[in-house]
A = this chain, B = another copy of it.
Amino acid sequence: MESIVSSSYAVHFNKKAYRALNDHLSASSYSSLFIIVDENTYEECLPDFMNAIEGDLHFEVLEIESGEINKNITTCTHLWETLSSLDADRKSLIINLGGGVVTDLGGFVASTFKRGVDFINVPTTLLAMVDASVGGKTGVDLGPLKNQIGVINQPEMVLVIPSFLKTLEERQLQSGFAEMLKHGLIRNAKYWETLKQLSTFSDIDTKVYDSVVIKNEVVLRDPTEQNIRKILNFGHTLGHAVESYFLKSENHETLLHGEAIAVGMILEGYLSYKITGLPEAELVDIKSTFLSRYKKVSFSNDDIIGILNLLKFDKKNSHGNINFVLLNRIGSPIIDQQIPPNLYVEAFAYYKD
């Protein structure tokens, strides 16, 4: 596949990815090389990755614990201290080999260590490949609040190696697939139709590529999220609040990111139907598509209140307004929409119905 060129770097796929990495390593004169992994990618992905590296290079492997719960400043501090103790300097390179937690957090650690060292992202989950691979967003959570602390900073390159997907469980793949379905909803009704009909993930490679192309095109048009880039947040305003609420709740199983935004897209689909005229048939299509793939989540009234209380922390807010991306048709989003408060509860009622 052709590499996809983003603002200051490229996303390389498959064999070209390893070729680009090896060329970069031999052309650069890094003083030391680090790979951040979690216990899963250490076992499942690191051996293949190291096999593909040419020459006699020494890498220090830094392992963090997997899971959103560890995407925090404490983990960063531990990594910063380890980098210091291993004499990392400004000419060091950090490779982030893992899912979104590793790439978001590793990108933040690299962007802030000695005011910034080079990093390369190698997303190993479907979610990270289609979502975190372009856009330069790095960051960690602050308590239950997702990605509250971070910077926008671009990696040297991103390597997408779809064979890593074979190591993932079905539930992880479905989680990433929710972001791909979102790409259809906000940008391309035909892509939405194509993805809906996909019954297996066996040849997802080309679809990953299509999704990265869509996201990259949006990000390049608006790198600092002043306008069009906001459309990528469809389903995320309520979806993030749902995800945060379940993350900190002791009575609920944690939802994967894609599972939470699947809920968010049904809720925000309903708001679209009420506010921006999304046709009812398309709303029904959205709801049935997501509920056929993602287990229906139960919300008590207490849960709904708790979720709505978290809404105000959404990063897209300003001046106390909560700004939504809504659809007027599938494939056609509208940004900066405000919602009358009563509609939130109606949306949850529609979801539960």
Contact = CB atoms under 8 A, between A and B. Distances in A.
A143 interface: yes
Interface in A103-134: 111-116
A152 interface: yes
Interface stretch (A170-178, A247-255, A298-306, A316-324): A316-324
A89 B81 CA distance: 30
20 contacts: A73-B73, A73-B76, A73-B77, A80-B148, A81-B142, A84-B142, A84-B313, A89-B317, A89-B318, A90-B315, A90-B316, A90-B318, A111-B151, A113-B149, A114-B150, A115-B137, A115-B150, A115-B151, A115-B315, A116-B151
Nearest to A76: B73
Which range contains the number of A residues in contact with the other chain? 35 or more
A167 interface: no
Contacts of A111: 151
Interface in A69-103: 73, 76-77, 80-81, 84, 87, 89-91
Contacts of A76: 73
A258 interface: no
Contacts of A139: 115
